[in-house]
Amino acid sequence: MSDLFLTGIGHLTTNHGDPIRDAVVAVEAGRITYAGTASDAPNQTGRRVACEQRAVMPGFVDAHTHLIFAGDRSDEFARRLAGETYTDIATGGGGILATVAATRRAAEDELFGLASERVWRMIRSGTTSVEIKSGYGLDTATELRLLSVARRIGDELPVTVKTTFLGAHSVPPEYESDRGGYVDLVIEEMLPAVQGLADYCDVFVEEGVFAVEEAQRILARAAELGMGARIHAEQLGHTGGARLAADIGAASADHLDHATPDDAAVLAAAGVTAVLVPGASYTLRSPQAPGAMIEEAGCTIALATDCNPGTSYFESMGPIISLGVVSMGLGVDSALRAATHGGAVALGLQDRGAIVPGAWGDLIVLDAPSPAHIPYRPGTNLVWRAFKEGTAIG
């Protein structure tokens, strides 16, 4: 939490009104005190950084990741490209369950090491806040270990972390013929155990995974324990997860590849953020979510990496913004806003994702004249400097 004074900003995206040219940003004790034209700026004594007409924008808020895991599934990636389906691979012991097996075997320090390398790469590509889900344990001890690692990342790395318990990510092998028993375990044992470690609870609602009614029971218990709700909804088919998210007032409905206009309308009416993850559809070669339709229906949209070892091993938000624009059809400004302000809304981080007085000084300076260069130049990490609560990173 430092003082900072960014000068000579060629293009300032505040997410609150039009971009400002020839701008400065002042941060005191980690919080933004001024963001506007240089001519109206107050005197400032903090560390000065001359931006030399570069663009400045809020740091990225990545609202959906599964980044704590062990094992290597690059072989499966090649197999899927050679024609095997996600379901084929999952049925053969690959997919999520391969990662579960490797993750259960990994000690906490190993998981922390692997995950912090990933998060450092995220930070160096401009991410200042990240959601981290559990869900590769599927037993109480491992789920607790994953959430502890997620908390430790937030404590030890310069990034804001929100944690999500995703025990209902898949049915573990030992409950293969007793899904109801596993749902009971999630509700009766896991949820009370993770209270305090998990800010949110998420359920993978999908044909063959968890049903709407099961998700409803799990998320109701989570709410009693003080956790917010998120739902993996309408990814591989249409099963009603989006409507459930609206019914229970979830913080977000995520994926939404098969969302209908009716889904979008109820999500918008309920104030549920639509978290769109174009890296997954890219990797799976499946149609992208109807992002523009969802946005036009009035939803707040967020873009996220969905960082995971099976279907979207993206660590950086730049390529995700590019996919949001080029493949999903979002406008450039919409995609940039979704990757910052939208993510902050999805995670309940009201004082992040915008450069306005009072907000935390989570800022990135781009080596480019405008943030439109992010989708325009998808292969290049354009982050020139990053600041977390006013402190330079790296």
Q: Among residues 78, 107, 141, 269, which is the contact residue for a second copy, using CB under 8 A? A: 78
Can you tell me whether residue 211 is helix, strand or coil?
coil
Q: Which is nearer to a second copy, 274 or 325 (CB)?
A: 325
- Which 251-280 positions form the footprint of a second copy (CB under 8 A)? 279
Q: What phi, psi does 362 have (nearest 5°)? A: -95, 100
Residue 85 contacts a second copy per CB under 8 A:
no
- Measured from the CB of residue 101, what is the shortest distance to a second copy in angstroms? 18
Going residue by residue from 31 to 70, which x/- string records binding to a second copy, judged by CB under 8 A? Answer: ----------------------------------------
Q: Among residues 17, 40, 82, 177, which is the contact residue for a second copy, using CB under 8 A? A: 82
- Measured from the CB of residue 372, what is the shortest distance to a second copy in angstroms? 4
Q: What is the 8-class DSSP label of residue 207? A: T
Q: Which is nearer to a second copy, 203 or 321 (CB)?
A: 321
Q: Among residues 212, 223, 332, 356, which is the contact residue for a second copy, using CB under 8 A? A: 332
Chain centroid, CA 101 distance in Å: 24
Residue 369 contacts a second copy per CB under 8 A:
yes
Select from 167, 98, 106, 102 the least CA-distant residue to 138.
167
- Measured from the CB of residue 345, what is the shortest distance to a second copy in angstroms? 23
Q: How far apart are CA 68 and CA 118, in angstroms?
A: 9
Q: Among residues 135, 228, 319, 390, which is the contact residue for a second copy, using CB under 8 A? A: 319
Judge contact between 103 and 144, C-beta under 8 A: no
Instruction: Give, in degrees to the nearest 5, the angle at Cα 102 between 211 and 97.
Output: 25
Identify the helix (H) or strand (E) that includes residue 381: none
Residue 292 contacts a second copy per CB under 8 A:
no
Q: Among residues 58, 241, 318, 342, which is the contact residue for a second copy, using CB under 8 A? A: 318
Write out the DSSP string of 134-197.
--S--SHHHHHHHHHHHHHHHHHSSSEEEEEEEEETS--GGGTT-HHHHHHHIIIIIHHHHBTT
Residue 175 contacts a second copy per CB under 8 A:
no
Stretch that binds a second copy, among 101-109, 197-205, 328-336, 338-346 (CB under 8 A): 328-336
Q: Among residues 133, 162, 373, 385, which is the contact residue for a second copy, using CB under 8 A? A: 373
Residue 121 contacts a second copy per CB under 8 A:
yes
Q: Which is nearer to a second copy, 11 or 255 (CB)?
A: 11
Q: Among residues 1, 38, 81, 269, which is the contact residue for a second copy, using CB under 8 A? A: 81
Select from 218, 279, 240, 222 the least CA-distant residue to 66.
279
Q: How far apart are CA 287 and CA 230, in angstroms?
A: 22
Q: Which is nearer to a second copy, 98 or 215 (CB)?
A: 98
Q: Among residues 8, 46, 240, 329, which is the contact residue for a second copy, using CB under 8 A? A: 329
How many C-alpha atoms does 196 have within 13 Å on its Cβ side? 4
- Measured from the CB of residue 376, what is the shortest distance to a second copy in angstroms? 5
Q: How far apart are CA 168 and CA 321, in angstroms?
A: 28
Q: Which is nearer to a second copy, 95 or 361 (CB)?
A: 95
Write out the DSSP string of 306-348.
-BBTTTB----HHHHHHHHHHTT---HHHHHHIIIIIHHHHTT
Judge contact between 64 and 312, C-beta under 8 A: no
Residue 379 contacts a second copy per CB under 8 A:
yes
Residue 313 contacts a second copy per CB under 8 A:
yes
Judge contact between 259 and 297, C-beta under 8 A: no
Q: Which parts of this chain interact with a second copy (CB under 8 A)?
A: 72, 74-75, 77-78, 81-82, 121, 125, 279, 282-283, 285, 305, 313-316, 318-320, 325-327, 329, 331-332, 369-370, 372-373, 375-381
